Amino acid sequence: MSETAVLEVVTRARNDEAFRKLLLTNPKAAFAGYDLTDAEKEKLRNLNEIMITEGSQVPESPFTLT
């Protein structure tokens, strides 16, 4: 797993509203350029806006979003 890539995606989604909307509406496009495994992509697809903006845990993952 690429914890760094996951954290980069989440951090960008928290700080960039346009990217956050892209992640929530078209995750495949949002993942372009990031080295993510299929499992990581699936976990990121399961995030919702509240989880991203308020901080939470990526579902079934050790990555904490704080």
Residues 52, 13: contact at Cβ < 8 Å?
yes
Q: Which residues of the chain have pLDDT under 70?
A: 1-2, 55-66
Query: Structurally, how many domains does the chain consist of?
Result: 1
Tell me the residue range of the domain where 12 lies.
Answer: 3-65
Can you give the pLDDT at residue 57?
53
Rounded Cα distance, 46 and 27, in Å: 10
Residues near 28 by beta carbon (within 8 Å), at least 6 away in sequence = none
Q: Is 23 exposed, middle or buried (0-12, 13-18, 19+ CB in 10 A)?
A: buried
Who's near 12: CB < 8 A, 6+ residues apart?
A: 19
Instruction: Quote the mean pLDDT of the chain.
Output: 83
pLDDT of 56 reads 57
